[in-house]
Amino acid sequence: MAMQRTTERILAVDSHPRMLASLEALAASRSLPLDTAATLAEARTRLQQGHYGVVLLDPVFPEGDGFALIREQREHQSDVDVVVLTGDTSGSAPVQALRNGVSDFLRKPCSPDELLLTVQNTLERRRLSQQNRAISNRLRRSEQLYAFIVDSSPDLIYVLDDQGRFTFINDTAQRLLGYQPEMLLGRHFSQLVVAEDRALARCSFNERRTGERATRGLELRLQRANGGDPAHVDLTAMGMYGDGDNGPAGQFLGTYGVARDVTERKHAEAIIRHQAYHDMLTGLPNRALFKDRLRQGLSQARRSGDQLAVLFLDLDRFKMVNDSLGHSFGDRLLERVARRLRGCLREGDTLARMGGDEFTVLLPTLERSSSAATVAEKCFAALETPFELDDQEIYLGVSIGIAVYPEHGETMEGLIKHADAAMYHAKGQEAMRYAFYDPNMGNKADHYLTMETGLRRALGNRELQVLYQPQVDVSSGRILGVEALLRWQHPDRGLIPPMDFIPVAEQTGLIVPISLWLLREACLEVLSWQGPESELRLAVNLSSLHVEQPDFVDGILDVLLETQFPPERLELEITEHVLMRNLDAVIEKLRELSGRGVTFAIDDFGTGYSSLSYLQRLPIHTLKIDQSFTQGLYQTTDEATLVNTIIAMAQGLGLQVVAEGVETGEQLRSLRSMQCHYMQGFLFSIPLVGPETRSLIASWDDQASMVLLSANG
């Protein structure tokens, strides 16, 4: 019989030397640690000098009763198990053994296997007993720790009875709501909930369900004792039921709940949400909000049979004014333009800034298409009067294109595209200030076809280039990594910026092979600089179209395998727009790559749709602050507040923050004061080709000292 190894010692006590010799031989054959004693005196000595877990005892001794040895031992060492092994055949022997609390009883002669099995079972019982005691001790300590955690928790923890009255609430009630806990005991929970949320709280704050059906993530507002702004909380609650020991089995006893304070998070989300849907400069709806309202307007128009119109406005001569008088002047001019255009619209119409000097207007529920022309005329009239700014008198014109549903298109994309085409047509006609879309108008189709052909050729002719911009830890002065940037060196047109060809690549699907080419080239080049043992990280931006591809994950992994680039050094950047297309599918793909070591960053954070609930579900490592926020730090206090909020929120979630577009020492100092230490921008380096980047990294210690010294000056 195989014996489990044990560290506990066994003492055999028997008056027969031959029996002790047999036991020693049997124990040695099974590697059991066994000592022997041939007399009661010797047994007492051994028990006093050493710790034994099991005693094999024949209680029949010439000099006295062996059971007395058991009783003596119990007084000094209770943690010992005694197995009686005796030749006494009387009926009183088992009874006496039982009265003395022995663990087991065997009669001589017994087989070696029977004896070994008895010893093994005794040792196993001891092991389980010791394990149970350890568990009990841990449980007791855990209960003490739990009591401390509940009392110290920043969350509001409460218990209700079956009528919804508080029977327990922790000290957070004082900090969060201003109520002493004892003031709330016996009061109904509804007295804490804001009146507008009570219907939502009913059957949730006093939840009766358990398991998966219990309340989780329900947001409510709770009233404060001083009547101030309510506290926003995230509620988790479940029903408590009797188990027979605590109340009748199955009887509802009350509710256990945890309410987490999310007031600051809600405030931060409100700021980010506003920023996501509004233009920072003019306060107008941005492209995202305009499209959302157009989508809603189309749904309503399809149901009602009404018309609607999209107007695309482009300011004439604005770029000349902006270049000659400066961006600050141009921004203030755009604010004035927005105010005038707003005055031309009805309530329910939408004016949005699409970017630069382009605006769009949504006119829902039109009775006739000529009404759109009337609005266009009002816009012309509003902008005819010159703008007076800084003692300058500025004249602006506007070109307007109009597309009407359903005549000129039945989709959101089609209407915007056709309004844009009509605007370009109007701009090219000196006598025409606005134009309705006509299918015969020359639009951007030729441009896109030319660009698509050129892009296909560029991939084969190696006209595409990879530039690198370093990401710097300003607290240590080290370059942590580089971001790979794509450029197109056209043989005839020269350097084409990404904003001109990336949209075409996305619309034609070329973005996928281009992205994989960029990743492969960057991995090989960065790896050649310092080898696989380097810690230099590589950041690569991904298109939403690429992420949506079914073979997206396989494509990334194939490049990593082919180039032997360490996955843990690769950071893939995605925009917030990617998350909104198909969040669950994106999460699954990102988690699969994250499991291989790849990290992820959200690029241009704050310009899209993200909320904390998305960030908590995604395997995100880094948030990148858009350069428009960085460069606007000193234009408005809202910019600084928003950047500070993003940094604080990221730190709360354990995420890194990288500020893009850092161009001045003043921006660096401001970001560093907000505890943002990772930056990239022209202050450190313009984007460079590979060999120049390698040289920059090699000489960075001296250059970093100069940059950081000048920034501190």
At 94 the pLDDT is: 84
Residue 366, in any domain of the structure: yes
Residue 31 belongs to some domain of the structure: yes
**Are the beta carbons of 397 and 379 closer than 8 angstroms?**
no
Average pLDDT over the chain reads 87
Do 295 and 427 reside in the same domain of the chain?
yes
- Bridge pairing between strands 81-86 and 104-107: parallel
498 inside domain: no
| Residue 113 and residue 166 share a domain | no
CATH number at residue 184: 3.30.450.20
**Is 646 in contact with 657 (CB distance < 8 Å)?**
yes
Residue 74 belongs to domain spanning:
10-131
Give domain status of residue 521, yes or no: no
State yes or no: pLDDT of 581 exceeds 70: no
Specify whether 321 is located in the same domain as 358: yes
The confidence band for 115, taking pLDDT boundaries of 50, 70 and 90, is: confident
- Which pLDDT band, with edges at 50, 70 and 90, does 708 fall under? low
pLDDT at 215: 92
Q: What is the C-alpha separation between 523 and 525, in angstroms, rounded?
A: 6
Residues 114 and 229 in one domain: no
Do 120 and 184 fall within a single domain?
Answer: no
- At 80 the pLDDT is 85
Instruction: Say if residue 109 is preceded by a cis peptide, omega within 30 of 0.
Output: yes
What type of residue sits at position 156?
A: L
User: Which of the four pLDDT bands, split at 50, 70 and 90, describes residue 442?
Assistant: low
Is residue 587 pLDDT above 50, yes or no?
yes
Please report the pLDDT score of residue 634 as a whole number.
Answer: 72
Q: What's the gap between Cα 385 and its chain centre?
A: 50
Instruction: Cite the DSSP H helix spans in 568-664.
Output: 576-581, 583-595, 612-617, 627-631, 637-652
pLDDT digits (tens, 9 = 90+) for 42-58: 988 888 888 888 999 88
How does pLDDT run across 652-665, given as a tens digit for each residue? 888 999 999 999 98
Cα–Cα distance measured from residue 573 to residue 602, given in angstroms and rounded to the nearest whole number: 6
Task: Report the range of poorest mean pLDDT among 231-245, 287-301, 588-602, 631-645.
Answer: 631-645
Residue 466 placed within a domain: no
Listed residues 96, 131, 166: the one ending a domain: 131
Note the pLDDT tens digit of each residue in 318-360. Answer: 876 776 678 899 999 999 999 999 999 999 999 999 998 999 9
The answer to whether position 526 is within a domain reads no
Omega before residue 497 within 30° of 0, cis:
no
**pLDDT at residue 705, rounded to an integer:** 61
**Over residues 630-643, mean pLDDT:** 79
pLDDT band at 685 (very low <50, low <70, confident <90, very high): very high
- Please tell me the distance from the alpha carbon of residue 321 to that of residue 330, in angstroms, as a whole number: 7
Residue 75 has pLDDT above 60, yes or no: yes
pLDDT the model gives residue 286: 95
* CATH number of the domain encompassing residue 127: 3.40.50.2300
One domain, residues 300 and 422: yes
| 512 CA to centre of own chain | 26
pLDDT confidence of residue 162: 94
Lowest mean pLDDT among 135-149, 160-174, 342-356, 523-537: 135-149
Examine the domain organization and report whether 180 and 288 are in the same domain.
no
Answer whether 0.75 is exceeded by the pTM.
no
List pLDDT tens digits, range 169-224: 999 999 999 999 999 999 999 999 999 999 999 989 999 998 889 999 999 999 99
DSSP H or E stretch at residue 690: helix 690-698
Quick check: is 662 in a domain? yes
Q: Per-residue pLDDT averaged across 274-291, rounded?
A: 93
Average pLDDT over residues 439-468: 78
- Tell me which amino acid residue 110 is: C
Residue 571 and residue 599 in contact, taking contact as beta carbons nearer than 8 Å:
yes
How many other C-beta atoms lie within 10 A of the C-beta of residue 440? Answer: 7
Does 509 fall in a domain? no
Is the same domain home to 553 and 659? Answer: yes
Q: What pLDDT shows up at residue 445? A: 45
Residues 698 and 553 in one domain: yes
Question: Binning pLDDT at 50, 70 and 90, where does residue 688 land?
Answer: very high
Q: Are residues 343 and 368 in the same domain?
A: yes
Query: 560 and 697 share a domain?
Result: yes
Alpha helices in 305-444 (DSSP H): 318-325, 327-342, 370-384, 412-427
Give the per-residue pLDDT at 6: 67
What distance in Å separates the CA atoms of residue 618 and residue 583, rounded to the nearest whole number? 9
* Residues 650, 651, 654: CA angle, nearest 5 degrees: 90
Query: Do 643 and 585 fall within a single domain?
Result: yes
Among 261, 287, 318, which residue terminates a domain? 261
For residues 418 and 402, give the distance between their C-alpha atoms in angstroms, rounded to a whole number: 8
> CB atoms < 10 A from the CB of 684, how many?
23
Total number of domains constituting the chain: 4
3-state DSSP call for residue 207? coil
CATH code at position 646: 3.20.20.450
